[in-house]
Amino acid sequence: MFIKLWEEHPGALLGILFGTLAGVIFLLVGFWKTLIFVSFIGLGLFIGKRFDQQGDLRSVLEEILPDKFFK
């Protein structure tokens, strides 16, 4: 039953999972720590998507970080 549900509604299931996880984290640590946690997830997603597109982590980091990090 779960496999059929996953095949028909993967976005809804991931949304429920994410919402549940975010709610539990919010209840355990509070609003601001949860906001920081979600920001780190977003940053990781951003870097990961760039890496998938370019295939080279160094070029992705060179785009994001200032030049002084690579001297």
Q: Is the pTM of this model over 0.75?
A: no
In angstroms, rounded to a whole number, what is the distance separating the alpha carbons of residues 41 and 9? 23
pLDDT recorded at residue 28: 93
What the block records as the tokens of 59 is 């070029």
Residues 11-48 have pLDDT tens digits of 888 888 888 888 898 899 998 998 898 888 888 888 77
pLDDT recorded at residue 6: 80
In angstroms, rounded to a whole number, what is the distance separating the alpha carbons of residues 71 and 26? 40
**Amino acid letter, 6:** W
Helix, strand, coil in percent for the chain, rounding step 5: 90, 0, 10
In angstroms, rounded to a whole number, what is the distance separating the alpha carbons of residues 27 and 36? 14
pLDDT recorded at residue 29: 93
Supply the range of the domain harboring residue 14. Answer: 2-70
- Report the domain count for the chain: 1
pLDDT recorded at residue 71: 66
